[in-house]
Chains A and B, each alone.
Chain A
Amino acid sequence: MFENLQEKLTRAFKSISGKGRISEKNIKDAVRQVKLSLLEADVNFKVVKEFIKDVQEKALGEDVLSSFTPDQQFIKIVRDELIRVLGEKSVPLSLSSKPAKIMMVGLQGSGKTTTSAKLAARFKKEGKKVLLVAADVYRPAAIDQLIQLGKQIDVPVFVGDRQHPLKIVTKAMEEAIKNIVDVVIFDTAGRLHIDEKMMDELKKIAGQLDPDEILMVVDAMTGQDAVNSAKSFNEALELTGFVVTKLDGDARGGVILSIRHVTGKPVKFIGISEKIDGLEPFYPDRVVGRILGMGDVLSLIDKIQQNIDMEKAKKLEEKFAKNKFDLEDFLEQLRQIKKMGSIGDLMEMIPGAPKEVDLSSGEKNLKRTEAIISSMTKEERKNPKMINYSRKLRIAKGSGTNLTEVNRVLKSYDQMKSMMKALNSKKSKFSKLFKGLPF
């Protein structure tokens, strides 16, 4: 949808290339581009202003290093500053008391209940004894939702009288102490930060529990208003951190920068899938490219690793190495790619990839290729050389395509094979990165 920031910057700097130093004058357009890009990413307007001011100060007067072009150097300054603001590394939960208490708060629909269950699943995996507490008595069926999620991950859910959050949490603590639970997670009701009565209720709960962690759950798609709600929750409750959810969508996640900037509190986890294990510790350096609109190679790699069956990939790799890659493997590769979602989504993560190309034809091609290979016999797939004219005719018929298409598939298989040969000889870093993938 939006032009890549890197491209814009390259253009912005075109006029000054060759000049040895970043100056106020030649930086103006570049600064504007960064500003716009951050705004399109939903970073709060005031935060953008302050951030840009800092960046500008740092950038001015810097000598352009010989190894960088001015735009590369400027973007490096922006990146470094962004990472500095976001915190250099991930901040773990601090759970000192026994049982440790985690309170989940936030606006409606941000994903508190799901996140509570995801956290519980994480602790359980670490071998901890966990108790979930359903303190959302307002949303119809919220309690049932937590009960069902608890069943899925085999973690007990404390329900209590289903009416009074304060009573529920007190009783839950008694229960937790009795059963020697390690971690108790309290799922509170979503509420608006301007709803004083509801905020008071949270304050009372927090006062009574004295939680180790109060985590605010924030939707990655939130716009400019995120700073207001984050600020209010932080002022009322002294948050210990944030969980940013729904980052598996294509929101740029500028909210991460905004909330960190206005509260000074770290983002501790991010939600990256609907599945119960879709919660990850937050690494600031990974989202920087995304917020800046520079593509997100790391997430792409993650996605590949998540969806590619590593065992199969390894086998394929061996086949590549020995140059014994057959059409059966080719088909397997296609299926793996399809599992990762649409090609368009993948392209968007690649920095510099064209955004406005129509990829639907490519996806149709994938499907057709799959049909063609599926119409071959096992022998043919193992030894494509044996496919003669009459076999080709049969395959075209069987897959509902034509000779040209069958030839196209065989040709691209040949090309890939020779490409693999070349990659094998180079053993570059790049080939390692994308090993096991036909592109």
Chain B
Amino acid sequence: MGIFSKMKLGLKKTRESIFKQVRKLLKFKKLDEETLEEIEELLITSDMGVETASDVIEQLKEKSGDYDSPIEALKDILNDLLKMNHTEPIVENPPLVISVVGVNGTGKTTTIGKLSKLFVEQGNRVVLAACDTFRAAAVEQLRLWSERMGADFISQGQGADPAAVAFDAVSHAKSKSKDIVIIDTAGRLHTKHNLMEELKKIHRVVKKVIPEAPHEVLLVIDATTGQNGLVQAKKFMDAVEITGIVLTKLDGTAKGGIVFAIVKELGIPVKYIGVGEAIDDLKPFDAAEFVEALLGTEELEENEV
């Protein structure tokens, strides 16, 4: 099964609920006020937020005339919103340091497990840094992942200073010429000032070993997150330099529409999406694919009618 169809499968629920209705509306009705309002409501139900949704509708009103069908117009509009495409991190001077951050319970540690699988499969030598020294057993959870993936594991146990662990891990990777270090940070609510300072400190300390590090700072966001996702992203952005978003748990019925709002308002690209619980269910994100999977028609024609 190719990445593309896998993504489609993962996004099946989204496609079959909301976007199926959008497609029907766009297919069978004229684009009158009532239809537009219904589409707007559906977009809001995807957690896109009122502002972004009405923006999309405005554009749809303007542009739909230029297209053969309104659905093509909507596809293009959504595509434009997500325009920034994923670029693979380039490892020029290894190790490449990736810091993974986010609020509690979004799936950071699991994402790291899956990420390390991607990297190990590409032939990279990976180091995992257990900097979530707060949550009970988080260190243990990461250790299990490192064993499964055959990655090095650097830890000082629970309660240790996370910045010291990060320093150790990056130094270790540098001296043993490993390719990639992934730092697992503790989940923190973006409103906790001290914890955000701690995050800054981790990054500062890493710079002492490698001045350009961390090269990537990935913010993990749960697809079920509502409008607070935007506030979260903003606050994390204020504290550290976020380079990309990982959207997890897209295999539920959640629509992940908040991603549109985040990309539009804050200009952070989405880099990976989690579409299932299995270990290889983390995929590099592609905007066109994402929108196509949400709105694509060809496969549905057969199943739907």
Q: Would you call A223 and B224 a contact (CB within 8 A)?
A: yes
**Residues on the B chain within 8 Å of A336, using CB:** none
**Residues on the A chain within 8 Å of B144, using CB:** 140-141
Q: Would you call A223 and B253 a contact (CB within 8 A)?
A: no
Q: For the complex, give the distance between the alpha carbons of A246 and B103 in Å.
A: 10
- Nearest-CB residue, chain A, relative to B223: A225
Residues 271-301 of B at the A interface (beta carbon under 8 Å): none
**Residues on the B chain within 8 Å of A44, using CB:** 45
Q: Cβ of B254 < 8 Å from any Cβ of A?
A: yes
| A192-B252, A246-B103 known; A341 vs B193 contact (CB < 8 Å) | yes
Q: Cβ of B228 < 8 Å from any Cβ of A?
A: yes
Q: Would you call A193 and B224 a contact (CB within 8 A)?
A: no
Most buried by B among A111, A192, A342, A345: A192
- Nearest-CB residue, chain A, relative to B234: A1
**Residues on the A chain within 8 Å of B194, using CB:** 341
Most buried by B among A41, A225, A246: A225
Q: Would you call B50 and A36 a contact (CB within 8 A)?
A: yes
Q: Cβ of A108 < 8 Å from any Cβ of B?
A: yes
Q: Would you call B103 and A221 a contact (CB within 8 A)?
A: yes
Quick one: CB contact mask for A341-353 with B, threshold 8 Å, 1 for yes?
A: 1100100000000
| A223-B47, A223-B224 known; A109 vs B190 contact (CB < 8 Å) | no
Q: For the complex, give the distance between the alpha carbons of A39 and B105 in Å.
A: 23
A345: contacting residue among B45, B104, B193, CB under 8 A: B193
Distance of A230 from chain B, by nearest CB (Å) = 11
Most buried by A among B41, B226, B257: B226
Q: Would you call B106 and A109 a contact (CB within 8 A)?
A: yes
| A111-B104, A221-B103, A228-B253 known; A144 vs B224 contact (CB < 8 Å) | no
Q: Would you call B191 and A250 a contact (CB within 8 A)?
A: yes
Number of interface residues of B (CB under 8 A): 48
- Stretch in contact with the other chain, from A15-23, A251-259, A423-431: A251-259
Q: Would you call A45 and B253 a contact (CB within 8 A)?
A: no
Q: Would you call B137 and A225 a contact (CB within 8 A)?
A: no
**Residues on the B chain within 8 Å of A1, using CB:** 230-231, 234
Q: Would you call A225 and B47 a contact (CB within 8 A)?
A: yes
Q: Would you call B226 and A224 a contact (CB within 8 A)?
A: yes
Q: Would you call A194 and B224 a contact (CB within 8 A)?
A: no
Q: Cβ of A300 < 8 Å from any Cβ of B?
A: no
Q: Would you call B45 and A224 a contact (CB within 8 A)?
A: yes
Q: Cβ of A6 < 8 Å from any Cβ of B?
A: no
Residues 223-248 of A at the B interface (beta carbon under 8 Å): 223-226, 228-229, 246, 248
Q: Cβ of A110 < 8 Å from any Cβ of B?
A: yes
Q: Cβ of A362 < 8 Å from any Cβ of B?
A: no
Q: Cβ of B249 < 8 Å from any Cβ of A?
A: yes
Q: Cβ of A387 < 8 Å from any Cβ of B?
A: no
B44: contacting residue among A45, A342, A345, CB under 8 A: A45
Q: Cβ of B1 < 8 Å from any Cβ of A?
A: no
Q: For the complex, give the distance between the alpha carbons of A234 and B103 in Å.
A: 27
Q: Cβ of A305 < 8 Å from any Cβ of B?
A: no
Q: Would you call A249 and B224 a contact (CB within 8 A)?
A: no
**Residues on the B chain within 8 Å of A71, using CB:** none
Quick one: CB contact mask for A405-432 with B, threshold 8 Å, 1 for yes?
A: 0000000000000000000000000000
**Residues on the B chain within 8 Å of A219, using CB:** 105, 222, 224
Q: Cβ of A142 < 8 Å from any Cβ of B?
A: yes
| A148-B136, A149-B136, A250-B228 known; A141 vs B141 contact (CB < 8 Å) | yes
Q: Would you call B255 and A224 a contact (CB within 8 A)?
A: yes
Q: Would you call B105 and A111 a contact (CB within 8 A)?
A: yes
Residues 304-360 of A at the B interface (beta carbon under 8 Å): 341-342, 345
Distance of A270 from chain B, by nearest CB (Å) = 14
Q: Would you call B140 and A141 a contact (CB within 8 A)?
A: yes
Most buried by A among B105, B189, B228, B257: B228
Quick one: CB contact mask for B101-119 with A, threshold 8 Å, 1 for yes?
A: 0011111000000000000
A223: contacting residue among B13, B135, B227, CB under 8 A: B227
**Residues on the A chain within 8 Å of B106, using CB:** 109
- Nearest-CB residue, chain A, relative to B141: A141
Most buried by A among B103, B105, B189, B232: B105
Q: Cβ of B269 < 8 Å from any Cβ of A?
A: no
- Nearest-CB residue, chain A, relative to B41: A45
**Residues on the A chain within 8 Å of B191, using CB:** 248-250, 341, 345
Q: Would you call A225 and B253 a contact (CB within 8 A)?
A: yes
**Residues on the A chain within 8 Å of B249, using CB:** 107-109, 192
| A42-B226, A246-B189 known; A148 vs B137 contact (CB < 8 Å) | yes
Q: Would you call B251 and A192 a contact (CB within 8 A)?
A: yes
Distance of A133 from chain B, by nearest CB (Å) = 16
Most buried by B among A145, A193, A224: A224
| A142-B137, A341-B192 known; A225 vs B105 contact (CB < 8 Å) | no
Q: Cβ of A40 < 8 Å from any Cβ of B?
A: yes
Q: Cβ of B46 < 8 Å from any Cβ of A?
A: yes
Q: For the complex, give the distance between the alpha carbons of A41 and B49 in Å.
A: 10
**Residues on the B chain within 8 Å of A192, using CB:** 249, 251-252
Q: For the complex, give the distance between the alpha carbons of A229 and B253 in Å.
A: 8
Q: Would you call A225 and B228 a contact (CB within 8 A)?
A: no
| A221-B226, A223-B47, A226-B224 known; A145 vs B137 contact (CB < 8 Å) | yes
Distance of A146 from chain B, by nearest CB (Å) = 8
- Nearest-CB residue, chain B, relative to A343: B193
Q: Would you call A249 and B50 a contact (CB within 8 A)?
A: no
Q: Would you call B45 and A45 a contact (CB within 8 A)?
A: yes
Distance of B59 from chain A, by nearest CB (Å) = 20
Residues on A facing B (Cβ under 8 Å): 1, 36, 39-42, 44-45, 107-111, 139-149, 152, 192-194, 219-226, 228-229, 246, 248-252, 254-255, 274, 341-342, 345
Q: What are 14 inter-chain pairs, A to B, with CB distance below 8 A?
A: A108-B249, A109-B249, A152-B136, A220-B228, A223-B225, A223-B226, A223-B254, A225-B47, A225-B252, A228-B253, A249-B103, A251-B226, A251-B228, A341-B194
8 tightest A-B contacts by CB? A223-B226, A109-B105, A42-B226, A145-B137, A141-B141, A148-B136, A144-B137, A223-B47
9 more contacts with CB within 8 A, not counting A143-B137, A221-B222, A248-B189, are A109-B107, A141-B141, A144-B140, A193-B252, A194-B253, A223-B224, A223-B229, A224-B44, A345-B191
